[in-house]
Amino acid sequence: MSENSPKKLLEAAARVMENAYAPYSKFRVGSALLTDDGAIVTGCNVENSSFGLTNCAERTALFAAIASGKTKFQAIAIVADGDQKPYPCGACRQVLAEFCSPKMPVYVASRGELDAFESTTLGNLLPKAFRL
Ligand code: THU
């Protein structure tokens, strides 16, 4: 992974955040996955009037990647509107753990402060993920 990839990935997440459909929470989120072959696959949150049907940005990105035949990932970036860093929800952590290594870097930033991103790992966010 090249040195500038966190920034590139965060910028891709910030761009796709503009497509978020979040009329209920007004909390727009974008996510970008770096695949093992260097491609970037993005996704945004898509809300629904039946709130429980909402899809988070991370799962939108992951499902788009899987549907396009990409199943191995080097890193994920997540960006949200405003000042808040959008740490992935529990459901997304578990879904990411299905395909991604615990060592995979997770970059989290607010749109207002992309450069102040935090870098953690999936294993740090979800130790002892459930597995069959
Ligand atoms: N959301 C995400 O897309 N990703 C996260 O990491 C946390 C929450 C979305 C779901 C919903 O549309 C909105 O943020 C408020 O919960």
Measure the CA–CA gap between 69 and 86, rounded to whole angstroms. 27
User: Which tens digit of pLDDT belongs to each residue from 63-95?
Assistant: 999 999 999 999 999 999 988 899 999 999 999
User: Which tens digit of pLDDT belongs to each residue from 32-54?
Assistant: 999 999 999 999 999 999 999 99
Give the list of residues 6+ apart from residue 18 with CB closer than 8 angstroms, or none: 28, 30, 44
- Cα 38 to its chain centre, rounded Å, is 16
Of the candidate CATH numbers 3.40.140.10, 3.40.50.720, 3.30.470.20, 3.30.930.10, the domain formed by 5-125 belongs to: 3.40.140.10
The verdict on whether 47 is a catalytic residue reads no
Question: Listing from the earlier edge strand, what are the strands of the sheet with 73-80?
Answer: 40-44, 29-35, 73-80, 105-110, 118-121
Atom of ligand 1 nearest to the CA of 44: 3
Tell me, using a 6 A CB cutoff, whether residue 48 lines ligand 1.
no
CA-nearest of 62, 38, 57, 37 to 47 is: 57
Average predicted confidence (pLDDT) for the chain = 96
- pLDDT band per the 50, 70, 90 thresholds, residue 3: very low
The dihedrals phi and psi of 90, each to the nearest 5 degrees, come to -60, -40
pTM: 0.96
Q: Is 127 strand, coil or helix? A: coil
Tell me, using a 6 A CB cutoff, whether residue 91 lines ligand 1.
no
Tell me, using a 6 A CB cutoff, whether residue 81 lines ligand 1.
no
